[in-house]
Structure 1
Amino acid sequence: MSQPETRITKQRLAVTQALSEIDDFATAQQLHRWLQDSEKKVSLATVYRLLQSMADDGLLDVLRSGDGEARFRQCVTETHHHHLVCRSCSKTVEVQAPSVERWAARVAAEHDFSEPEHTVEIYGVCAECRAKKLA
């Protein structure tokens, strides 16, 4: 059974444009504020719904902060990837990790699981923030 085609609405185009103009991860509230400032009429509920739909379709990266709030960004890399995230400035780098993929597949197989999926975010402090601390 094929998946239904996603409708391209004015609201979806506005959210896509906002994401393309924002270089970093943003919350639904931040995107909604950007849309309001740009005089685009998209309700906050619609922003949440569109972000979830786009994330489910694999078009967005999603990171959850310590308080559980989701932050979204258009994927830079189209293939499966992971993230390094700076705890100080939130700088995020996409990384490929073949050894993690092999490990996940092996662990799933050892426990008789199939079709394993995973997300990995590694948090640390980037070189720029470390340099600022030392200055």
Structure 2
Amino acid sequence: MRQTPQREGILRVLLDSDRPLTVEEIWERMPDRRSGLPTIYRNLERFVQEGWAESILGADQVMRFVRCNSRHHHHHLQCERCGRMAEVDACGLDASLAEMERISGFHITRHQLMLFGLCPSCRAEKDR
């Protein structure tokens, strides 16, 4: 993929955020805002295909994007209080997925798991 200022700007915004962002939030944080929303959408779609970002449907049914450090299968944890997100380079669902395939007759090609809880900072605040 060709390197462009717009792509670099989008990736920089995602890298600088510890929370998933909507397309509008990404646009608002871009330094020069030369890119329109359609350009950002197209680039994010490509980043997801390449494994550089992941799209996450929030509890409010709004799609947000997060930069992924891992290029292979992984999961994310999100703090229910502050929205901070952590990437976890682990899955551990292989046996459960095989059992689901056996029971359903489906061949599972992919899955996405979001885990929610309290981050260390919010847990410390709660305990005070």
Q: By the TM > 0.5 criterion, same fold?
A: yes
Which of 52, 72, 76 lines up with 1:83 in the alignment?
Answer: 76
Matched residue type, 1:62? S
CA distance in 2, matches of 1:93, 1:28: 20
Q: Distance in 1 between matches of 2:15 and 2:123?
A: 29
Q: Quote how far apart the aligned CAs of 1:79 are.
A: 1.8
Pairing partner for 2:15 from 7, 16, 20: 20
Q: Percent identity between the aligned chains?
A: 28
How far, CA to CA, are the matches of 1:81 and 1:91 in structure 2? 17
Q: Is the 8 A contact 1:108 1:116 kept in 2?
A: no
Q: CA RMSD in A?
A: 2.0
Whole-angstrom distance in 1 between the partners of 2:105 and 2:27: 43
**Structure 1 unaligned blocks of 5 or more:** 1-5
TM-score, structure 2 length as denominator?
A: 0.82
Which of 1 and 2 has greater Rg?
1
Q: 1 CA distance for matches of 2:46 and 2:121?
A: 34
Cα shift readout 1:83-123 (whole Å, capped 9, x = no counterpart):
2211001122222122x132113212332222431100111
Aligned to 2:35: 42
Question: What is the TM-score with the length of structure 1 in the denominator?
Answer: 0.79
- CA deviations over 1:57-105 (Å, ceiling 9, x no partner): 322122221111122121122221112211001122222122x132113
Report the Cα distance in structure 2 between the residues aligned to 1:112 and 1:69, rounded to whole angstroms.
Answer: 32
Once the two structures are superposed, what CA deviation does each residue of 1:21-71 show, in whole Å capped at 9, x if it has no partner? 334322111110111xx1140001211221122113322122221111122
Residue equivalent to 2:110: 117
Q: How far, CA to CA, are the matches of 1:67 and 1:24 in structure 2?
A: 15
Q: How does 1:48-67 map to 2 (within 5 A)?
A: 48-67=41-60
Structure 1 residue 7, shift from structure 2 partner: 4.6
CA contact (8 A) 1:105 1:116 kept: no
Total equivalences in the alignment: 127
Where 2:60 maps in the other structure, the secondary structure is: coil
Instruction: Tell me the SS of whatever aligns to 2:55.
Output: strand
Query: What does residue 29 of structure 1 align with?
Result: 24
